[in-house]
């Protein structure tokens, strides 16, 4: 996996981190991330997917329902969220790579409440893999890497950075996923 430590500590820009990456690298990184998330599900039960963890730091300022701002996310919620976020980054990256300039989001997240089983989580991750990899097939042979947006927080964002932001987001939730799984296993005595 990409090491985002230097980027998160502001010692390196995302643009510098992704310099030299290829579409093939993005494919490999996507497969590595999905495979790792699937490996975290090994040994999980359906009860683990819907288990409500203890999370005193829960804070989702973007929650559509204000009642959900402090909601502790269960495993199903996390899988729905990370997959949707990476798919959005992949879709936007494909547009940027093709030279399209636009603002706005490209997000579609399944209702997390529908994620009830480990098999649904696996299926969602595999579907996400298929969609992310398919988005890379939309990149031209010579992507428009000069199609750049500026962000105060991130700096220069081109198609490579946009795609990798999804992987960074995934990676940012891995510790939370592990914590939820550990709490669920402990609760069931596993």
pLDDT band of residue 128 (cuts 50, 70, 90) is very high
Q: Report how many domains make up the chain.
A: 1
Q: Which residues of 86-120 are buried (b: 16+ CB within 10 A; e: fewer)?
A: bbbbbbbbbbbbeeeeeeeeeeeebebeebebbeb
Percent of the chain scored above 70 by pLDDT? 99
- The boundaries of the domain holding residue 21 are 5-187
% pLDDT > 90, the chain:
85
Burial of 131 (0-12, 13-18, 19+ CB in 10 A): middle
* pLDDT greater than 90 at residue 180: yes
Read off the pLDDT of residues 22-68 as tens digits, 9 standing for 90 and up: 999 999 999 999 999 999 999 999 999 999 999 988 888 887 788 88
What three-state secondary structure class fits 151?
A: strand
Is 113 in contact with 78 (CB distance < 8 Å)? Answer: no
Tokens in use for 24?
């093939």
State the pTM of this model: 0.93
What CATH number is associated with residue 119? 1.20.120
Q: How many CB atoms lie within 10 A of CB 161?
A: 27
């Amino acid at each position: 996996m990409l090491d985002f430590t230097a980027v998160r500590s502001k010692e390196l820009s995302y643009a510098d981190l992704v310099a030299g990456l290829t579409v093939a690298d993005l494919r490999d990184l996507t497969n590595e991330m999905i495979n790792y998330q699937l490996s975290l599900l090994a040994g999980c039960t359906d009860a683990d997917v819907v288990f409500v963890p203890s999370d005193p730091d829960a804070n989702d300022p973007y929650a559509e329902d204000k009642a959900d701002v402090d909601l502790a996310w269960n495993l199903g919620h996390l899988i729905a969220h990370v997959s949707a976020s990476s798919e959005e980054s992949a879709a936007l990256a494909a547009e940027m790579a093709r030279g399209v300039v636009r603002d706005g989001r490209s997000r579609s997240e399944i209702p997390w409440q529908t994620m009830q089983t480990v098999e649904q989580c696996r299926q969602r991750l595999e579907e996400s893999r298929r969609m992310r990899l398919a988005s890379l097939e939309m990149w031209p042979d010579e992507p428009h890497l000069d199609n750049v947006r500026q962000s105060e927080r991130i700096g220069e964002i081109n198609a490579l950075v946009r795609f990798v932001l999804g992987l960074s987001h995934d990676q940012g939730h891995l510790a939370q996923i592990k914590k939820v799984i550990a709490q669920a296993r402990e609760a069931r005595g596993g």
